Amino acid sequence: MIQPICRMGNPILRKKTQEISKDYLLSDKFRQLLIDLKDSMKHYGGIGIAAPQIGVDLQVAIIELMGFNRYGEEVNLPLTTFVNPKIEYLTNEEQGFWEGCLSVPGLRGFVERPKKVRVRYLNEKAEPQELVAEGFLATVLQHELDHLQGVLYVDRIKDPKLLSYQEEFEEFIQAPSIE
């Protein structure tokens, strides 16, 4: 079921979320949460969403990114569930992308993040998984998993001059963005 998106200013977006127990992970309630996340992400046009964005204080995010992105980079990550994820930065080299967020509607900001990461997590069946990503996918992963730590992309903008309303971004900057 589609849930309303919590926007910047809602305290749930600023707190570290709770880990999910294996019992809860295998429950019908958790399966419904995944349906709510997917329905909400699709409805609002995102490529990823984290539980706090729909008001749920749990460490789970989903991402779906298939085909060529706006940067000409092919990324093929089918709908993936990240439960209790742990992220490891594999390089100090950074890359920058213009990011947007369902919880910060109408804005875009240029964020530089580590170029390559490893994420260890449980999938929706409580099976341990590992994903190494670089480029655009690494940025998307960091963006979504930041939500589970109470961090929004606007917190990571190094230069406040690189924050723009969507309309001005499209008119004057003309660079692709992520949701």
Per-residue pLDDT of the chain (179 residues; tens, 9 = 90+): 999 999 999 999 999 999 999 999 999 999 999 999 999 999 999 999 999 999 999 999 999 998 876 667 788 899 999 999 999 999 999 999 999 999 999 999 999 999 999 999 999 999 999 999 999 999 999 999 999 999 999 999 999 999 999 999 888 886 455 55
- The verdict on residue 73 lying in a domain is yes
- The verdict on residue 27 lying in a domain is yes
- The verdict on residue 5 lying in a domain is no
- The verdict on residue 129 lying in a domain is yes
144 assigned to active site: yes
- The verdict on residue 2 lying in a domain is no
pLDDT of residue 179: 56
Looking at the structure of the chain, the number of domains it has is: 1
**In CATH, what number is assigned to the domain containing residue 169?**
3.90.45.10
Q: Which domain holds residue 110?
A: 11-178
Nearest to 124 by CA among 58, 59, 86, 80: 80
Q: Exactly one of 94, 99, 112, 144 is catalytic; name it.
A: 144
Binding site residues for Fe cation, as ranges? Answer: 101, 143, 147
- Contact present, 35 and 60 (Cβ < 8 Å): no
Binding site residues, as ranges? Answer: 101, 143, 147
- The verdict on residue 96 lying in a domain is yes
By three-state DSSP, how is residue 12 classified? helix
Token duo for residue 89:
């930065």
The tokens 């969403």 sit on which residue? 49
- The verdict on residue 1 lying in a domain is no
